[in-house]
Structure 1
Amino acid sequence: MSPQHSRPSRAKASSPPPVSPPTARAGGCVLHSAMVGALPMVNDLLRRTRLETFLGEALPKEDGRTKLSPTKALLVLLRNLLLSREPIYGVGEWAARYAPDLLGLTKNEVGLLNDDRVGRALDKLFAADVPSLVLRVASRVVKEFGLRLDELHNDSTTFSFFGAYPRRDTH
């Protein structure tokens, strides 16, 4: 094969280096900066809804190979969706900018977040009994926040479709 027609390399592209929070050094001291943002408020809502407990009970049991629990990965994804809406491949980089404890993670666990791991956690969620999970969370929210059920309608059978559809002649 001539040099002009050489095949592209099939070597796997390397992952970008993990993003570390900004660090300052002076006088033998080290200061690590991390974002906090609205995480304390979101965490309070998550705590009050007991979502971590309900997810842990609903998801299939983990095996010994699991390095980051699917529950933790899903809760980080939820925080991301509420605060930033990064794509799944950017969740690890997003999480690295925040204080790990506010994400329910250790510093080492933040480094484990990647799109494959979050995707596997979503697979486990889809394999769970989601209607029962939704019912447990909704029941907890009603109780915790003192919601009156005459003011709330939870219809899990409604489907909405949005988008551009070709027009059909109805004649």
Structure 2
Amino acid sequence: MSNNPYVMPDITAVSPGAVPVITMLCRTAKIGEIINQMVQWNENNSKITPGLPIESLIVCIICGRKPLWKVEEFWAKQDLKLLFDGTDITLDQLNDDAYGRALDKLSEVKMEELVSRCSLVMLAAHDLKISTVHFDTTSKSVQGVYENGAFGDFLITYGHSKDRRPDLKQFKIGAAVQEDGQPVMGQILSGNKSDKEWNPEAALKVLSSSIKRDSKMSSLSPTAPSYQQIP
């Protein structure tokens, strides 16, 4: 040990970046809690809830981690007790097997319902209302062979590429946000789905969803352009 009185060997400095903020937003949205309610799992046989790995994986993705394996290496540089206060999570529980099991359970969930439920929680947490909804889509290119019909009505196929890769097949992501930028609905779409076709469909879906009932939304024109004004 050094005799220098200014050396503090028991302190380890870390640079968390945006991780604490993103983690808190995910926990405010109760992503993990909602997933736990939606999937089948046995608390008595589980060392970790299925929602917690998914919540932590979202943090990894948003904070820029590209390879989604050996994720425990990412969390080894973070303060788990501080970030996931109220849980008994340990680093060894955030292993690839745990993430694989959680993702298998997540595959059984209706993603639109999950997004809607988390959106309602965030609207309530920030006391946000809905008077205007903006609809938009983006495309995600993929590589490999995908046979039409392999995923039911969902097709990975060629379409208008918003990331400028018309040579690749793609799928699309559609989202609706209210005037403050808070998402209120999200969908995974076929790669050839047009905005003109999706916008009115999405407007009708928002009108008929729990988002409308719980946010006091009055009316929405399904034939209007991407910005929808609610009186």
Aligned partner of 2:99 among 104, 107, 118: 118
The alignment status of 1:144 with 2:174, answered yes or no, reads no
Residue 19 of structure 1: aligned partner: none
Aligned partner of 2:113 among 113, 132, 156: 132
Aligned partner of 2:23 among 10, 31, 43: 43
| Counterparts of 2:14 and 2:42, CA distance in 1 | 30
Secondary structure of 2:11's aligned partner: strand
Secondary structure of 2:44's aligned partner: coil
The answer on whether the counterparts of 2:48 and 2:89 sit within 8 Å (CA) in structure 1 is no
Change (3 A) 1:158 1:114: closer
Offset of 1:82 from its aligned partner? 0.7
Residue 145 of structure 2: aligned partner: none
| Counterparts of 2:113 and 2:57, CA distance in 1 | 21
- Runs of 4+ with >4 A deviation: 25-29, 105-108, 155-158
Matched AA of 2:45:
R
Relative contact order (alpha carbons < 8 A, sep ≥ 6): 1 or 2 greater? 1
TM-score under structure 2 length normalisation = 0.50
Matched AA of 1:159:
L
Q: How does 1:22-171 map to 2 (within 5 A)?
A: 30-104=10-84, 109-145=90-126, 146-153=128-135, 154=176, 156=186, 159-161=189-191
- Structure 2: tracts of 5 or more residues without a match: 136-175, 177-184, 193-231
Matched AA of 2:130:
R
Q: CA RMSD in A?
A: 3.0
What is the aligned residue count? 138
Going by fraction, where is strand more abundant, 1 or 2? Answer: 2
Residue 163 of structure 2: aligned partner: none
TM-score under structure 1 length normalisation = 0.64
The answer on whether the counterparts of 1:88 and 1:118 sit within 8 Å (CA) in structure 2 is no
Change (3 A) 1:29 1:60: same
Change (3 A) 1:97 1:113: same
Matched AA of 1:161:
G
Q: Deviations over 1:59-99 (max 9, x none)?
A: 22235332222211111101100102232213111111111
- Structure 1: tracts of 5 or more residues without a match: 1-24, 163-171
Change (3 A) 1:113 1:48: closer
Offset of 1:104 from its aligned partner? 1.7
The answer on whether the counterparts of 2:31 and 2:51 sit within 8 Å (CA) in structure 1 is no
Going by fraction, where is helix more abundant, 1 or 2? Answer: 1
Offset of 1:103 from its aligned partner? 4.1
Offset of 1:139 from its aligned partner? 2.1
